[in-house]
A = this chain, B = another copy of it.
Amino acid sequence: MTLQSLLKPRSIAIIGASSNATRVGGIPMDLLLRAGFERLYPVNPKNTEIQGRACFADIESVPEVVDVVLLAIGADDVLAYLERCHARGIKAAIVFAAGYAETNEAEGIARQEALTAFAKRTGMRVAGPNCMGNANFNDNVFTTALLTQSGNMCATVYRMARRAGVAFSHVINTGNEADVDFADYLAFLAEDSATDAALCYIEELRDGAAFLKAAAAFRAAGKLLTVYKVGASEKGAEAARSHTAALAGDSAAYDAAFAATGVARAAELGGLADLAYLHGFGSKIAGSGCAILSVSGAAGAILSDALALNGGTVPTFPESVQAPLRESIPAFGMVSNPVDLTGNLVNSNDFLFEAVRLALSPDDVDVLIVFLPGYFLDRALEQLQRAAALAAKQIVVVDTFALGDRAKLAAAGIAYFDDFDRAARAICTYGAWKMGGAVTLKPTAAKASWPAFPVGEPALSETAAKEALAAFGVPVVHDALVHSEGEAREAALRIGFPLVAKLVSPDVAHKTEHGLIRLSLKTADDVTAAYNAMVAKAQSMPNVRIEGVTLEPMLAGGVEILAGVTRDPVFGWMLTVGLGGVWTELMKDVRHRLLPVDAAGAEEMLCGLKGFRLLDGYRGAPKADAAAAARAIAALCDAVLAGGERLREVEINPLLVLPEGQGAIAVDALVLLNEAAQPEVEKAA
């Protein structure tokens, strides 16, 4: 269902319209009249005329079925009035009233649930409640949309962006999102031909899948989607949750979601405006390789540091660029990039023009940053204008004196910042966004199926977990579950030595400490002795059920990694990959991705680990079979996607990565289950 009538209405009725232009029922009247909106119908039984327009007693008297109705009435009266609007055939409404779920009180929560149910039942699209509403500036020049989950931040970003010279097509504050949610708006904007970029302030998303789809649509259309997300810190997350009363998604899942869909993420709120500002210059920025021309050696050094910190590069110029620069710059000026133009700038009418041309010529330069303090800018402007007119790449002027004429530069297609770090952050984030490829959210065909999940159990046994994953193509260490000394001897001779024996019991947590895991068993007699000793030990412990003993080959060599898939409440399945033990626990050296993940994606994750060199033939060790590990991880992901709602978490730890050509093998696996949704039915089946 499109949001066309909500966001681009041709006719509007305002219930509770007011003559006072500072009140909630008067503000939208005033703004819409100023904007020259014609088919506007104030509704208020107490008036016959409001702000110069004929006023109607009720929605039934309004002479047309309007596209959208604005409800400027108290929460108690909203639902009844919405029913009347629905009866009249109206398809969209905006509810300003507070007093819903944001109160964190039973009455308000129930009121919001009723509103949501109404929207579901009738198909009417309801924006809010507890929102500031939307603005749509009908002007084709402005193509940036602002979409926020906070009224205050809506106003803050709006002001920041206006200062940066960004003008908006749509300004939307989503409020409580009882019906129309963040992703709905985003999906509309992705298809809206008048929108070329969206600036978003996000606290918590309700519908992760819909967000991912809308974000992918932005990317596919080449539209900029830039996001500032709060909640990176514990206190910030707590405050955001309290504010929105939404599901608490994992911060890592948001990171993974934004990475997966190529969202341009602003590290600071002000960065949103800067990214939209850069985007407004068109598509001349292809990456974040920067050339720097500066009249100050210091500024070149500061910009180089700031670019490196933000992931940009300052490639050294080839001699074909350095040589001609050297001819016109004194020996003390650097020409390798950054270029220290020295004061020479003012002595020639073509020096800067020529320097710009040279600096932009290397293939690894995507953007040129020119540091010109305000007092130089006037003298340099004409040369810059000429150079920009010929350049296929973006020129950005940085002037820490804040004296530049932003409009004059913009007219020449030149961007302008008055701060080193803001410029570097914006250029690097924008360049990285541009380098991102198309997003494919491809579904995977199930290659196998899970066996029936046991009802009432919180987990599969290790043996069952490994066998289930093996069906999807995960290489596993097969173990034998034995129940007698004789079975143990027989299985041991079949598996070969050395091997490991483990007592199986759901009731013992630290098996090693209790002597219930025995390593390096080298003969059948070792195995039977271990079997008997472990069973005797377990029998001597109170309340320990013995399910048997597993035997498995003891593997030597290789590098241990772990791969786990957990379910995020907002975005669904997320894969975590890391090296085993201390690497993950102490160094937090892990990578996350949302599913689906294929083998190529899994290998990228492994390569992204700081400790990847441990897999790559570190200190003369054999190179590990990372490709095989990646295939095993991809198979794990396929298995999880095929597993459905009963799966809670699946982990392989360790996945032993053997030397190249020898594969990777899951030594242990964990499959945690959710409570069955309908245990009675399952039991009956």
Seen from chain A, the residues whose Cβ lies within 8 Å of a Cβ on chain B are: 102-105, 108, 149-153, 155-156, 159-160, 201, 203, 230-240, 242-244, 268-270, 295-302, 304-309, 314, 330-332, 334, 336-338, 340, 373, 400-402, 419-421, 582, 586-587, 589, 610-611, 613-614, 618
The chain B residue sitting closest to A156, CB to CB, is: B400
The chain B residue sitting closest to A420, CB to CB, is: B269
A239-B340, A582-B618, A586-B618 known, 9 other contacts, Cβ within 8 Å? A103-B330, A103-B331, A105-B332, A160-B400, A230-B298, A238-B334, A243-B297, A243-B300, A269-B421
Find out whether the CB atom of A421 lies under 8 angstroms from the CB atom of B156: no
- Given the interface pairs A230-B305, A298-B149, the reply to whether A159 lies near B610 with Cβ below 8 Å is no
Find out whether the CB atom of A332 lies under 8 angstroms from the CB atom of B104: yes
The chain B residue sitting closest to A271, CB to CB, is: B421
Complex Cα spacing A419 to B159, Å: 12
Complex Cα spacing A314 to B331, Å: 52
The smallest beta-carbon distance between A623 and chain B, in angstroms, is 16
The chain B residue sitting closest to A299, CB to CB, is: B152
- Given the interface pairs A297-B150, A298-B201, A587-B587, the reply to whether A308 lies near B268 with Cβ below 8 Å is no
Find out whether the CB atom of A295 lies under 8 angstroms from the CB atom of B243: no
Find out whether the CB atom of A401 lies under 8 angstroms from the CB atom of B155: yes
For A243, list chain B residues within 8 Å (CB).
Answer: 297-298, 300-301, 334, 340
- Given the interface pairs A104-B332, A302-B230, the reply to whether A420 lies near B308 with Cβ below 8 Å is no
Partner of A298, one of B203, B268, B301, B421: B203
Find out whether the CB atom of A150 lies under 8 angstroms from the CB atom of B298: yes
Find out whether the CB atom of A203 lies under 8 angstroms from the CB atom of B301: yes
For A401, list chain B residues within 8 Å (CB).
Answer: 155-156, 159
Complex Cα spacing A460 to B72, Å: 86
Find out whether the CB atom of A232 lies under 8 angstroms from the CB atom of B305: yes
Find out whether the CB atom of B331 lies under 8 angstroms from the CB atom of A104: yes
Complex Cα spacing A268 to B421, Å: 7
For A151, list chain B residues within 8 Å (CB).
Answer: 296
DSSP class of A's interface residues: helix, strand, loop or mixed?
A: helix
* Chain copies in complex: 2
Find out whether the CB atom of A420 lies under 8 angstroms from the CB atom of B268: yes
Find out whether the CB atom of A314 lies under 8 angstroms from the CB atom of B400: no
The chain B residue sitting closest to A158, CB to CB, is: B401
The smallest beta-carbon distance between A583 and chain B, in angstroms, is 8
Complex Cα spacing A222 to B603, Å: 54
A-B contact pairs, 25 of them (CB 8 A): A103-B331, A105-B332, A108-B332, A152-B373, A155-B401, A156-B400, A203-B298, A203-B301, A232-B305, A232-B308, A233-B305, A233-B308, A233-B309, A235-B307, A235-B314, A236-B301, A239-B301, A240-B297, A243-B297, A243-B301, A268-B420, A269-B302, A269-B421, A586-B610, A587-B610
For A402, list chain B residues within 8 Å (CB).
Answer: 159
- Please list the 4 inter-chain residue pairs (A to B) with the smallest Cβ-Cβ separation, ordered nearest first: A243-B297, A233-B308, A150-B298, A152-B296
Partner of A242, one of B236, B340, B587: B340
Residue among A151, A230, A232, A305 with max Cβ neighbours from chain B (10 Å): A305
The chain B residue sitting closest to A244, CB to CB, is: B297
The chain B residue sitting closest to A297, CB to CB, is: B243
The smallest beta-carbon distance between A39 and chain B, in angstroms, is 32
For A295, list chain B residues within 8 Å (CB).
Answer: 152
Find out whether the CB atom of B298 lies under 8 angstroms from the CB atom of A153: yes
- Given the interface pairs A236-B304, A587-B589, the reply to whether A152 lies near B298 with Cβ below 8 Å is yes
The smallest beta-carbon distance between A67 and chain B, in angstroms, is 30
Complex Cα spacing A334 to B203, Å: 15
The chain B residue sitting closest to A314, CB to CB, is: B235
Complex Cα spacing A402 to B155, Å: 12
Complex Cα spacing A295 to B234, Å: 20
Find out whether the CB atom of A235 lies under 8 angstroms from the CB atom of B308: yes
Find out whether the CB atom of B332 lies under 8 angstroms from the CB atom of A102: yes
Residue among A300, A301, A421, A582 with max Cβ neighbours from chain B (10 Å): A301
Partner of A419, one of B155, B233, B270, B309: B270
For A300, list chain B residues within 8 Å (CB).
Answer: 239, 243
Find out whether the CB atom of B618 lies under 8 angstroms from the CB atom of A242: no
Residue among A231, A232, A242 with max Cβ neighbours from chain B (10 Å): A242
For A160, list chain B residues within 8 Å (CB).
Answer: 400
The smallest beta-carbon distance between A151 and chain B, in angstroms, is 8
Complex Cα spacing A238 to B299, Å: 13
For A331, list chain B residues within 8 Å (CB).
Answer: 103-105
Residue among A239, A400, A402 with max Cβ neighbours from chain B (10 Å): A239
Find out whether the CB atom of A338 lies under 8 angstroms from the CB atom of B373: no
The smallest beta-carbon distance between A570 and chain B, in angstroms, is 17
Find out whether the CB atom of B105 lies under 8 angstroms from the CB atom of A334: no
The chain B residue sitting closest to A371, CB to CB, is: B152
Complex Cα spacing A296 to B610, Å: 39
Complex Cα spacing A337 to B108, Å: 24
- Given the interface pairs A230-B302, A611-B586, the reply to whether A150 lies near B240 with Cβ below 8 Å is no
The chain B residue sitting closest to A103, CB to CB, is: B332
The smallest beta-carbon distance between A331 and chain B, in angstroms, is 5
Find out whether the CB atom of B105 lies under 8 angstroms from the CB atom of A299: no
Partner of A304, one of B102, B235, B301, B340: B235
The chain B residue sitting closest to A330, CB to CB, is: B103
For A159, list chain B residues within 8 Å (CB).
Answer: 400-402
